[in-house]
Structure 1
Amino acid sequence: MTILEAIKAAIYALAGAAFASAFYSLVIIPMERNDARRGYVAEARATAAEAKADKMERERKADQIVIDAYQVQLKNARAAEAEKVQQHETEIADYEAKLRAAGRSCLVDDADRDWLLKP
């Protein structure tokens, strides 16, 4: 092998290396970057969807706690109202029993009372 052939071989090798380097930097690296971006976007979307689902679950649990508290309050209010009505009915019955024991009676019924209270 002569020096001229060696220089030619070195030039061909350098040209091949330059072509391979250019191909790698112009084609392969952008493809890898695009794939990485696509993967990152998919991962970011999945993470965002998961965070949104977690937030909705936390809000649902908080809403259920509030609903349960209001149901307890409503139950207590209804029980108190029922107790007041029962106490009122007992007072009326006691008053009517007192009137009967005294030999008096109240002949006014609900229709008479409504007529008297009409404006």
Structure 2
Amino acid sequence: MRLKSSIWVAAYLRRCEVAGSFAVMRKRGAEEAGAIFIKVDRLDGTSDLFGPAPQTSFDDAKPTDRLFVPSMKTVTVDSADAEEYLAKQLRYDPDIWIVEVEDRQGRNFLDDEITR
């Protein structure tokens, strides 16, 4: 059984805080299983944006893990482009979660949860 989105987001926010970065939940989504998007604002006009990995990325041994992929063609994009992408996702699915991290170094704190 997969961890509820609300619990995962709370733990992720705590992880960012412990590492010394400011992170905030910008949009609360569906409690149980809302898709989670992570925007890392580099505070220089660029951002990294990560969203849920497609189902084909999941390992049979760990089908309940949360995995993320860069949401746009390049990892670091103009912040305005990232916002436009998130607005489109919200129109498509209003139950998404949006978490924003401010980190000049671009640390995303997703550890082993990013797949390509």
Same structural fold, with TM-score higher than 0.5 when normalized by the shorter chain: no
Q: Which protein is bigger by CA-based radius of gyration? A: 1
User: When the two structures are superposed, what TM-score results if normalisation uses the length of structure 2?
Assistant: 0.21
Richer in strand (by share): 2
Richer in helix (by share): 1
Structure number with higher relative contact order (C-alpha < 8 Å, ≥ 6 residues apart): 2
